[in-house]
Amino acid sequence: MRVVFFGTPEFAATSLQALLEARVAVAGVVTRPDKPQGRSRSQLVPPPVKLLAQSQNIPVLQPVQPVGDLFVASLRHLEPDLGVVAAYGHILRPEVLAVPPHGMINVHASLLPRFRGAAPIQHAILQGEHETGISIIQMEAGLDSGPVLHRVGTPIGPDETAGALTERLAQLGGSALVEARSLLSAGLARPQPQDHALATLAPKIDREMARIVWERDAAMLTRQVRAFDPTPGAWTTLNGEILKLFGAKEAPGNGVPGVVLAAGEHLVVAAGENAVMLREVQPAGRSRIPVEAWVRGRGISPGQRLV
């Protein structure tokens, strides 16, 4: 069964690597265009999936949008039997989904129907979930709404960040994908419709979602810091400058929300209820550093207020 693979970031590259290690015939890869970087935007950085595909001499398509007669014709030219989508970032139209005769399947980083959408990992942490996982679904026109072919759960660690959880789910997703593809090839797959009444959404993260509101309780703020580590980074301001926060734990303490209660090896800041203890920060225009180094450089002291 020849596969065409849609994906872009490292999460997707892990799924593609799992298919290759399982000796699945990958007819082609569809990914996003190379991303301009640098001050002049003249340096083009290829997506991780493209680099992996090129290392295996797999044809690569990089449409700005996966639409139009030319793209569909290019897809058909690859002669895929099955499509696989993992963190591609575009909603595929029915004419694209219809190209592979065996349809398309999607690797989604949640236990569907919970957390449909672009940011399931971050939202699971934000909402204090204790478990998440991977769902392999048959794709249809709706948003992550297709029947589930295979589901694998995993606990969320009490201090686990989105970055660490993403890495674990990428590995889990790769193995789950190979298992689901084997079930399809053998005709043993038994798709289970989702209960749409239980669906929740995990929309794309925007800047305001990552802003710390110190009047919230410390448990919520701690989850927020974990959910946006390493990117985009939960942030607040100090003297009008952006400050990103990392390595949060709930701590005892009280005071005016946002006021620094202690600054040493850790930074302790009063919240609406209890306090938040932080291990690392990233001041504006600087790299991420331990709080202790920032305090030694007179970056902050007790009594100052973050807003």
Query: Does 180 share its domain with 226?
Result: no
- Distance between CA atoms of residues 38 and 57, nearest Å: 28
305, part of any domain: no
The confidence score (pLDDT) of residue 135 equals 98
Residue whose C-alpha is closest to residue 250's, from 238, 266, 264: 266
Q: What are the backbone angles phi and psi of residue 30, rounded to the nearest 5°?
A: -115, 125
303, part of any domain: no
Six token digits for residue 157: 């660690």
Q: Which of 138, 164, 198 is the last residue of a domain?
A: 198
Query: Does 67 share its domain with 145?
Result: yes
Q: Which of 173, 198, 223 is the last residue of a domain?
A: 198
The confidence score (pLDDT) of residue 35 equals 92
Query: Does 246 share its domain with 270?
Result: yes
174, part of any domain: yes
The pLDDT tens digits for 176-231 are 999 999 999 889 989 999 999 999 999 999 999 999 999 999 999 999 999 999 99
Query: Does 171 share its domain with 39?
Result: yes
For residue 25, the domain's CATH number is 3.40.50.170
- Distance between CA atoms of residues 225 and 302, nearest Å: 21
Return the percent helix, strand and coil in the chain, to nearest 5.
30, 30, 45
62, part of any domain: yes
| Average pLDDT taken over every residue of the chain | 96
302, part of any domain: no
The confidence score (pLDDT) of residue 39 equals 75
Please give the tally of structural domains in the chain. Answer: 2
- Distance between CA atoms of residues 29 and 88, nearest Å: 11
Residues 6+ apart with CB under 8 A from 231: 163
Residue ranges making up the domain that contains 291: 207-296
Helix or strand run (H / E) with residue 48: helix 48-55
DSSP per-residue letters across 159-196? T--HHHHHHHHHHHHHHHHHHHHHHHHTT----B---G
For residue 243, the domain's CATH number is 3.10.25.10
The confidence score (pLDDT) of residue 191 equals 95
Q: Which long-range contacts (CB under 8 A, 24 or more apart) does 55-62 make?
A: 56/20, 56/26, 58/26, 58/27, 58/28, 58/29, 59/27, 59/28, 59/29, 60/28, 60/29, 60/30, 60/31, 61/28, 61/29, 61/30, 61/31, 62/30, 62/31, 62/32, 62/33, 62/34
Helices (H), 56-149: 69-77, 94-97, 120-126
Query: Does 230 share its domain with 172?
Result: no
pTM of the model: 0.94
Query: Does 168 share its domain with 214?
Result: no
Query: Does 75 share its domain with 221?
Result: no
Query: Does 181 share its domain with 154?
Result: yes
306, part of any domain: no
Give the three-state DSSP class for 45.
strand
Token pair 């349809």 is at which residue?
103
15, part of any domain: yes
255, part of any domain: yes
Token pair 């973050």 is at which residue?
306
Helix or strand run (H / E) with residue 251: strand 241-251
Query: Does 192 share its domain with 251?
Result: no
Query: Does 237 share its domain with 186?
Result: no
Q: Which of 164, 181, 198 is the last residue of a domain?
A: 198
- Distance between CA atoms of residues 258 and 238, nearest Å: 10
pLDDT truncated to tens, each residue of the chain (307 aa)?
899 999 999 999 999 999 999 999 999 999 999 999 877 777 899 999 999 999 999 999 999 999 999 999 999 999 999 999 999 999 999 999 999 999 999 999 999 999 999 999 999 999 999 999 999 999 998 899 999 999 999 999 999 999 999 999 999 999 999 999 999 988 998 999 999 999 999 999 999 999 999 999 999 999 999 999 999 999 999 999 999 999 999 999 999 999 999 999 999 999 999 999 999 999 999 999 999 999 999 999 999 999 9
Query: Does 49 share its domain with 113?
Result: yes
Contact assessment for residue 105 and residue 82, using Cβ atoms and an 8 Å cutoff: yes
Residues 6+ apart with CB under 8 A from 252: 274, 275
Query: Does 63 share its domain with 177?
Result: yes
Contact assessment for residue 219 and residue 266, using Cβ atoms and an 8 Å cutoff: no
Helix or strand run (H / E) with residue 221: helix 218-227
